[in-house]
Amino acid sequence: MNQAELTGLFTVEGKVAVVTGASRGLGQAMALGLAQAGATVVALGSKRESLAVLIF
């Protein structure tokens, strides 16, 4: 398999990802990464103010 075929296997474009613990740390990093990769992200976290950085 070449790089293009592998990339197609693992794409998140058009998918919905639910990330818990997204208000800080690894959860926040995962939410941002998934959004940048094309997923629609539903972010859940205990600190509402910290979730604001995920809105764009």
Residues 6+ apart with CB under 8 A from 53: 28
23-54 per-position pLDDT tens digit: 999 999 999 999 999 999 999 999 888 888 88
Domain that holds residue 31: 15-54
User: How many structural domains does the chain have?
Assistant: 1
Indicate whether 5 belongs to any domain.
no
Indicate whether 21 belongs to any domain.
yes
Query: 55: pLDDT confidence band, cut at 50, 70 and 90?
Result: confident
DSSP state, residue 55: -
pLDDT for position 24? 93
pLDDT for position 54? 84
pLDDT for position 33? 94
Indicate whether 45 belongs to any domain.
yes
